[in-house]
A and B are shown apart, each in its own frame.
Chain A
Amino acid sequence: MDSAIVPYLFYLFSFMIVVSGLLVVIMKNIFHCALFLIICLFSVAGVYVLLGADFIAAVQVLLYVGAIAVLMIFAIMLTAKVSGIGIKQQNEQVPIAIITTVAFVAIALYGLGKTIWNIKTDAVIPDNTTMAIGKLLMTTYVVPFEIVSVVLLAALIGAIVIARRN
C-alpha cells in the first residue's frame, strides 16, 4: 500500500462513515436508513483494508452487508408502516441525547488524546492474514470458535421460535 494515499483514503472513508452514519440515525425514511447503513458498512470494510485486515474486511462485507443489512431490510419490509410525513422518527430525547453524546465523544477524544499508546512503530503487517487467522481459530481459539457456532445455532433456533406464527 502506498503510504502516500493512505491519509486521503482514510479521510475519504472516515468522511463516508461519519456522514452515512449520521444519515442512518437521522433519516426519516427507514429504508433510506438501511441503505445508508450499507454504505457505512462498506466504508468500514474499506477502513479495514487500510488497516491491513483483509480477511476482516471480507468478512465484514459478507456478514454485515450481505447478511445483517439484508436482514434489516427484510425486517423493514415486514414491519412496514405507513411512513407518512407527520410521523416523527426521532423521539423527544434528542436534545439531551445530543448533549450526552457530544460530551461522551468529547471525553473519549480527550482521553485518547492524552493517552500514550504503546505503538510498535516497527510493525510488520503480515500479508496473508486469512491463513494466520484460520490457523489461530483452529488451534488457540478453537473453543471460542465452537462456542460461537453454538451461539449462532442458538440464535438461529431462537429467532425461528420467536418469530414463527402459531
Chain B
Amino acid sequence: MEISLAHYLALAAILFGIGMFGVLTRRNAVGILMSIELMFNAVNINLVAFNRFVTPADFTGQIFSIFVIVAAAAEATVGLAIVLLIYRNFRDIFVDNINLMKW
C-alpha cells in the first residue's frame, strides 16, 4: 500500500498521544520530560511529513523542525536544570509530592 501523508500523520498522532499519556501519568519528573520529547518528535514527524508531501520544493517544514529540535533542546536543558534543583530542595523527584501550590 502506498504510504501516504495520512499514514505519517496517523503515526505522529499516535506518538503524540503516547507522549501525552506519559505527561499526564508519569510520576518521575525526568519521565515527564521524556514524554514531552516524544511529543516534540511527533510534531517533527508531522512537519517533515507535510514538507515532503505538500511543499517538497520548499524546505519550510524541515527548517521549522530544526527550530523545533533546537527549542526542544533548550527546553530540555532548562527543564532538567529545574528538576535538579527540585531534587536538591525536596529530595524527591516524584511530582505528586511537589504540591506547594495546593489549596
Contact = CB atoms under 8 A, between A and B. Distances in A.
Interface in B1-39: 1-11, 13-22, 24-31, 33-35, 37-38
A156 B77 contact: yes
A89 B28 contact: yes
B1 A7 contact: yes
25 contacts: A17-B11, A17-B15, A25-B26, A30-B31, A47-B8, A47-B11, A48-B45, A56-B65, A56-B66, A63-B73, A64-B73, A67-B73, A68-B76, A78-B87, A79-B83, A101-B21, A101-B24, A117-B53, A119-B5, A123-B52, A125-B56, A152-B73, A159-B77, A162-B85, A163-B84
A79 B93 contact: yes
B87 A79 contact: yes
B74 A155 contact: yes
Interface in A87-138: 87-91, 93-94, 97-98, 100-102, 104-105, 108-109, 112-113, 117-120, 123-126, 129, 132-133, 136-137
A6 B5 CA distance: 13
B30 A79 contact: yes
Interface residues of B, number: 75
Given A33-B31, A148-B67, A21 B15 contact: yes
Interface of B: 1-11, 13-22, 24-31, 33-35, 37-38, 41, 44-45, 48-49, 51-57, 59, 62-63, 65-67, 69-78, 80-85, 87-88, 92-96
Given A48-B44, A112-B13, 13 more contacts: A17-B15, A21-B15, A59-B66, A64-B72, A90-B25, A97-B20, A97-B24, A101-B20, A133-B66, A136-B63, A137-B63, A151-B71, A155-B74
B83 A133 contact: no
Greatest chain B CB density within 10 A among A22, A75, A89, A154 is at A75
Contact of B41 (A44, A75, A132, A155): A44
